[in-house]
Amino acid sequence: MIDQINDSEEQAQMQKLIKTVTLSVALTLVSGCSYFGVYKRDLPQGNLVEQSVVERLQPGMSRSQVRQLMGSPLLEAPFDADQWDYVFRLDKAYGGVEQRRVTLTFVNDRLADVTTQGDLSGDIELPTGE
């Protein structure tokens, strides 16, 4: 009789332990630190530089004309005020990095040279705030 009571108590404890472990595993999988990973999003930074805008730049344009067309530069060289850099970088959440750069050089406050890096011709779909 005593053996049956001990066996039933052991079974009740085992069932309680199984329920506790099962609940713990389920909560861990459902929680924010789950096995399935976290949400990531694309991260655009800098000035969006497009080929159509760069094509409109003409040698001899004034700084104000360039600023009106391109916007304010992301970088102005601190020791060389005659160079403006427009840099755009898109860190794709589940992919690589896309980077574009346009460097403008001025001589006597007039646009003298345009240097580009990266593929300006492709369209970039920017994430929306929705």
Q: Which residues of 19-40 are buried (b: 16+ CB within 10 A; e: fewer)?
A: eeeeeeeeeeeeeeeeeeeeee
Question: Mean pLDDT highest for which of 20-24, 66-70, 123-127?
Answer: 66-70
Residue 11's pLDDT is 82
Instruction: Encode pLDDT of 71-122 as tens digits.
Output: 888 877 777 788 998 888 888 877 788 888 899 999 999 999 999 888 777 6
Q: How do the domains of the chain map onto residue ranges?
A: 1-36, 43-117
Q: Say which amino acid occupies 93.
A: A
Q: What is the CATH number of domain 43-117?
A: 3.30.1450.10
Residue 10's pLDDT is 79
Residue range 17-26: average pLDDT? 84
